[in-house]
Amino acid sequence: MKIGIVCAMQEEFELISNDIKDKSLIKKLNLEFISGNLNGKKIIGVICGIGKVNSAICTQILISEFKCTHIINSGVAGGINKNIKFKDVVIANDLIQHDVNICNFGYKLGEIPNIGTYSFKCDGYLVELAKSICEDISKNKADFKFHIGRIITGDQFISNDEISNKLQNEFNALACEMESAAIAQTCYLNNIPYIIIRSISDNGGNIAGDEFYKFLKDASKNSYLILKQIISRMEK
């Protein structure tokens, strides 16, 4: 087993990096991949940069070059469902790229032609493992809340009440961000099990930019809290 960890930003990755043992640095395509051990598992971690192309490229490198058998994406997201609060954790059960629009040719909004699926579903074993971990944490941490549902991805930072509401209504999504569905698509095409863990940094509304910087670090901590336990308890 070799686990690839993808984060978009330094703030999302630094807690992970601090805990990696026996680190070595490998550079590819001006990107720095960190190899080492985390909670008894071999891992390769990378800060992919923001956006779908960056995240897809890094995921493919982890699979093709580093032979990762599993992929985990951890970070923050905008909570566009009204029941989602700042710092809540969202575990994706499936993902859609909300900015794909080929509706004129009879496809659903977000549907990619000729790929065999409308949404990209996370690995069932990993989702159930994450759920169990979150349930255990919530028993001892009253302010810890988690949700399992759809996350949507697009190459925009959503910071508009009207757009946020429209996306939620269109896709019945819990959260939106800028990388995860591209990571999911890459894993799907390579038949690699994956899971997406996001914690809420903003609500995608008119002041999402201010909220993002206020909650970025705390939300990143909550995502990592789940990630490190998943890695520790993964058995297949």
The answer to whether the beta carbons of residues 150 and 174 sit under 8 Å apart is yes
Q: What is the residue whose two structure tokens read 């944490």?
A: 137
Spell 105-123 as b/e; 16+ CB within 10 A means b: eeeeebbbeeeeeebbebb
Cβ atoms 222, 133 nearer than 8 A: no
**Which residue's structure tokens are 């469902």?**
81
Write out the catalytic residue numbers.
12, 202
Cβ partners under 8 Å of residue 209, min gap 6: 157, 159, 202
Whole-angstrom distance, CA of residue 155 vs CA of residue 161: 17
8 A C-beta contact, residue 220 and residue 11: yes
How far apart are the C-alpha atoms of 214 and 134, rounded to whole Å? 24
Helix (H, G, I), strand (E, B) or coil at 60: helix
